[in-house]
Amino acid sequence: MSAVLTLSDVSMRRGARRVLSGVSLSVAAGEALVIAGENGSGKSTLLAIAAGVLTGFSGRVSLSGPCGYAPSTPDVPEHLTPGEWLALVASLRRTRASIDDEIKLMELTDVHHRKVSTLSAGQRQRVSLAAALLGAPALLVLDEPEGALDHASIMRLASRLAGTTCLVATHDLSLASRIGARTVHLETS
């Protein structure tokens, strides 16, 4: 299988601290790769680089196809409704994917007309994940997607991720086993 994502010798510093040092990995089509490690090991930094939202690193990143990214803290505009946010994401991605399908799959039907500012942390997380999943991107990059989710939501997410190409950072290694992921451990620099 061909690689959807390849990172070659990726390194990054934040001030005097080296956050990542020579990380190389690849994610093949249909593969789930979980990045594990202690707090401060660079998981979030690595995922942001892979998703193309963080610059200032050395090394090379190659991504074939669109990427859906959900950061560890949902970054959804609070003045929009989940439906409005997903419509905006769909238009930016130029996809005709069904917003209603993602709303149903992420169990947001009861709140899709409410402003994001009125939603619980778990509901905001599900909105962020729905946006990442919208349009079946070539690669899903999910940073601690289980954060703020209850057990039932985590099980639905694991089911939704089965068979997708994804790069996931998590402290919950049971999520890795549920989605059949290969695991790479980052060490704290």
The number of beta carbons lying within 10 Å of the beta carbon of residue 37 is 17
- Spatial separation of the C-alpha atoms in residues 3 and 62, rounded to whole Å: 9
Q: Where are the domains of the chain?
A: 1-65+173-189
pLDDT in tens, the chain (189 residues): 689 999 999 999 988 888 999 999 999 999 999 999 888 899 999 999 999 999 999 999 999 999 999 999 998 999 999 999 999 999 988 877 788 888 998 899 999 999 999 999 999 999 999 999 998 899 999 999 998 899 888 888 898 888 899 999 988 788 888 888 899 998 876
Q: How far is CA 111 from the centre of its chain?
A: 22
Q: Which two tokens stand for residue 142?
A: 């999910």
What pLDDT sits at residue 189?
63
Q: pTM for the complete prediction?
A: 0.92
CATH of domain 1-65+173-189: 3.40.50.300
- Which residue carries 């089911």 as its tokens? 159
- Spatial separation of the C-alpha atoms in residues 171 and 35, rounded to whole Å: 9
